[in-house]
Chain A
Amino acid sequence: MSSDPVEAVKAALTAAPWGAPDERRRAEVRTAILAQAARMRRSRRPGARGTWVSVGAVAAAAAAAVLVVIPAATRREIGAGDETRGPSAAHPTKSIATSAEPAAASRGRVRPSAGAVIERSGPVGDEIVRLRHGRAYFEVDRLDPGERFRVVAGDGEVEVRGTEFSVTVVDDRLIAVDVNHGRVEIRGRGIAAARPHALIEAGQSWRAPEGDESAVVGAPPAAPPAVAARVKPQAMDGGDGAACRTGDRHRPRPTSAGASPAPGARDAAFEEGWLALKGGEHGRAVMAFERAAAMAAGDPLAEDAAYWRAVALARGARRAEAISALTVFVDEHGSSPRAGEAAALLGWQLLAFGNLDEAERRFGAALSDRSPTVRRSAQDGLRAVLQRRTAGR
Chain B
Amino acid sequence: MIPRGKLLPFRLAADTGEALSDEALLAASVIGDSTALGALFDRRHLSVYRFLARLSGTDRRDLDDLVQATFVEVARSAARFRGGSNVLTWIFGIAANVARHHTRGEVRRRSALAALGWQPVPAAVRPDELTEQRDIMNRAQRVVAALPHDLRVVFVLCEIEEVSGVDAARALGVRPGTVWRRLHEARVAIRNAFLTGESP
Contact = CB atoms under 8 A, between A and B. Distances in A.
A302 B12 contact: no
Interface string B86-113: 0000000000000000000000000000
Interface in B7-66: 7-21, 23-24, 27-29, 31-39, 41-42, 45-46, 49-50, 53-54, 60, 63-64
Given A18-B49, A59-B38, A210 B144 contact: no
A53 interface: yes
A286 to B, nearest CB: 10
A325 B10 contact: yes
Contacts of A56: 32-35, 37
A34 to B, nearest CB: 5
B24 A353 contact: yes
B3 interface: yes
Nearest to B81: A354
A321 B50 CA distance: 32
Interface stretch (A20-28, A76-84, A126-134, A222-230): A20-28
Nearest to A32: B68
Interface in A41-97: 41, 50, 52-53, 55-60, 62-65
Interface residue range, chain B: 35 or more
Contacts of B174: none
B8 A204 contact: yes
Contacts of B18: 196
Contacts of A25: 64
B11 A198 contact: yes
Interface stretch (B114-122, B123-131, B187-195): B187-195
Interface string A319-334: 1110111011000000
Interface in B130-185: 132, 136-137, 139-141, 143-144, 156, 159-160
Contact of B13 (A1, A13, A324, A392): A324
Interface residues of A, number: 83
B77 to A, nearest CB: 11
B54 A13 contact: yes
Given A16-B141, A320-B36, A8 B194 contact: yes
A36 B190 CA distance: 39
A50 B32 contact: yes
Contacts of B54: 13, 16, 18
Given A26-B45, A354-B27, A16 B137 contact: yes
B83 A392 contact: yes
A328 B32 CA distance: 22
B2 A63 contact: no
A105 interface: no
A208 B4 contact: yes
Contacts of B29: 37
A37 B7 contact: no
B194 A320 contact: no
A81 B194 CA distance: 76
Contacts of B190: 5-6, 9
Interface in A296-348: 296-298, 302, 305-306, 309, 319-321, 323-325, 327-328
A258 interface: yes
Interface string A258-295: 10100000000000000000000000000000100110
Interface of B: 1-21, 23-24, 27-29, 31-39, 41-42, 45-46, 49-50, 53-54, 60, 63-64, 67-68, 71-72, 75-76, 83, 132, 136-137, 139-141, 143-144, 156, 159-160, 187, 190-191, 193-195
20 contacts: A5-B143, A12-B136, A13-B140, A13-B141, A18-B53, A30-B41, A33-B41, A34-B34, A36-B72, A40-B72, A63-B34, A185-B35, A196-B18, A198-B11, A206-B7, A207-B8, A297-B9, A305-B9, A319-B27, A355-B23
Interface of A: 1, 4-6, 8-10, 12-16, 18-21, 25-26, 29-30, 32-34, 36-38, 40-41, 50, 52-53, 55-60, 62-65, 185, 196-201, 204-210, 213, 257-258, 260, 290, 293-294, 296-298, 302, 305-306, 309, 319-321, 323-325, 327-328, 350, 353-355, 358, 392
**Nearest 8 pairs of A and B residues by beta carbon:** A59-B34, A5-B194, A63-B38, A12-B140, A320-B28, A293-B9, A56-B32, A59-B35
